[in-house]
Amino acid sequence: MTRLRTALALGATAALLLAGCSGPDDGAGSPGPGEGRGSAVSAQRCASNEAAGTITYVTGYQYQASASILDPVAAQALGYFDALCLDVEIQPGTGETAQNAQLVAAGTAQVSSMSGNSDVLVNVANGVDVKAVALFGHVPIATLMTGPGITDLKQLEGTTLGQKGALPVAIDAMLRAAGVDVEAITQVVVGFDPTVLVRGQVQSLTGYKSNEPLTLEALGEEVTQWNPEDHGVPGSIATTIVNPDFLAEHRGAVEDFLRAQLKAYRYCEASEEQAAECVGHAAEQAQAGYDTDHNVQVWQTEARLVDDSLPAGQVLGQIDPASVQAEGDFLVRMGQIPAVPDPASLVDTDLVPSLYADGALVWPVP
């Protein structure tokens, strides 16, 4: 997944200009016999969704099997968008979430994936007009890896830490909460090869729970993960944003985009076989060089993080305004934003709950 960016990638934007009956459903079933175009909506709803035109969705990072990336890809392949009369075009993002936010704000894309609420907060605080409509995980995705010989984060003082261009704010906060003198750590920019840690080139390495630790484990290397949430640091995983004008004009289409996404999410996590099937759909889009086995692990790891962090009484995809406020307050304390944006302009908290009845996703649509 892509992560928090504090600067807007203005120059990169141009490069991504993109030339029935009803009842609750558990979301885990694939299209049954006879399903097809418009099979899950009334004729009126179908016409309304078609009137919205092509919905361009930009992924957070390529076709990586992360939450809010794999599920829309699977929703398209499984026919869920088609069953709701939605015309969806999926475009791979570059990893620059500020760029994604600008594309959505400009209306070049209508929907996109952000790494979490922090991304949305920073972009909106910088004047980018987008609205968050869904959130999947309620825990930071960032982690700090060390060798097993590190048993106290204070041992990192006087050592070298590898990061990808900036120290993630959640890792910075974790270190400070543990009483570490961050200025006493030498920080160097490293690439995306996590073996720099086990080769001793750095003594700690920032990464994401669903990526680098899996690579090192597959190599048989033992590392310790230090996680921000264990030190009281808030965070989130996989926020879906939309263009506010598009939402106002075509709310039903946005609802049904998320409905299909949520149904695909449950399908893809239901079994090992279905996870592999969904990742296979992403691999077809990515074509050459796609590590299917690794991406199955990415998906299963993030799905566990999402499910394990779902607050009691909430449904999958629901945005909790209290957690958004807590994350915003944290960013203010860390100097990432001057103030928390107005929640009314930042998130739509009612959309996702309206898709459920008695805790089950409604499918087909009334």
Query: Within this chain, do residues 36 and 68 fall inside the same structural domain, yes or no?
Result: yes
Give the pLDDT score at 288.
83
Query: Do 128 and 195 belong together in one domain?
Result: no
What confidence category does residue 352 fall into, taking pLDDT thresholds of 50, 70 and 90?
Answer: very high
Distance separating alpha carbons of residues 132 and 100, to the nearest angstrom: 13
How many Cα atoms sit within 13 Å of 269 on the Cβ side? 24
Q: What is the pLDDT of residue 4?
A: 34
Residue 365: DSSP 8-state? -
Look at the chain and report how many structural domains it folds into. Answer: 2
Are both 108 and 255 inside the same structural domain? yes
Task: Decide if pLDDT at 46 tops 80.
Answer: yes
Under the banding of pLDDT at 50, 70 and 90, the label for residue 266 is very high
Q: Is the dihedral of CA 132, 109, 123, 244 positive or negative?
A: negative
Provide the whole-model pTM.
0.87
Single out the residue in 231, 247, 267 at which a domain terminates: 231
% of the chain surpassing 70 pLDDT: 91
pLDDT at 343: 83
Residues 204 and 98 in one domain: no
| Residue 107 sits in the same domain as residue 162 | no
Say yes or no: 201 and 305 in one domain: no
Question: Is residue 19 scored above 50 in pLDDT?
Answer: no
| pLDDT of the residue at 5 | 35
List all residues 6 or more positions away from 232 whose beta carbon is below 8 Å from its beta carbon.
177
Structure tokens at 135: 């959130």
Of 213, 231, 249, the residue at which a domain comes to its end is: 231
pLDDT value of position 303: 97
Average pLDDT, the chain: 90
Q: Please check whether residue 225 lies inside any domain of the structure.
A: yes
2 lies in a domain? no
Residue 306: which of 260, 262, 273, 356 has the closest Cα? 262
Arithmetic mean of pLDDT, 37-56: 96
Distance CA 214, CA 314 (A): 29
User: In terms of domains, do 200 and 266 share one?
Assistant: no
Residues 240 and 350 in one domain: yes
Q: Quick check: is 27 in a domain?
A: yes
Domain encompassing residue 344: 10-139+235-362
pLDDT tens digits, one per residue of 270-314: 999 999 999 999 999 997 889 999 999 999 999 999 999 999 999
What is the torsional sign of CA 79, 30, 100, 105? Answer: positive
Q: Residues 115-139: pLDDT tens digits?
A: 999 999 999 999 999 999 999 999 9
Which pLDDT does position 30 carry in this prediction?
Answer: 46
Please report, for residues 93, 106, 110, 266, 363, the alpha-carbon distance to residue 102 in angstroms, rounded to integers and kept in the order given. 12, 6, 11, 29, 32
Query: Do 107 and 22 share a structural domain?
Result: yes
Provide the CATH number for the domain around residue 187: 3.40.190.10
* pLDDT at residue number 143: 97
Of the three residues 231, 257, 284, the one that is the final residue of a domain is 231
Looking at the fold, whether 262 and 347 belong to one and the same domain comes out as yes
- The verdict on 299 and 240 lying in the same domain is yes
Q: What digits encode the pLDDT tens for the residues 101-115?
A: 999 999 999 999 999
pLDDT given for residue 280 in this prediction: 97
- Looking at the domain assignment, is residue 254 inside a domain? yes
In a domain, 216, yes or no: yes
How would you classify the pairing of strands 204-208 and 224-226?
unpaired
pLDDT band at 269 (very low <50, low <70, confident <90, very high): very high
> pLDDT-derived band of residue 80, with 50, 70 and 90 as boundaries?
very high
pLDDT band at 38 (very low <50, low <70, confident <90, very high): very high
CA distances from 282 to 136, 182, 263, 291, 349 (A): 19, 39, 17, 10, 29
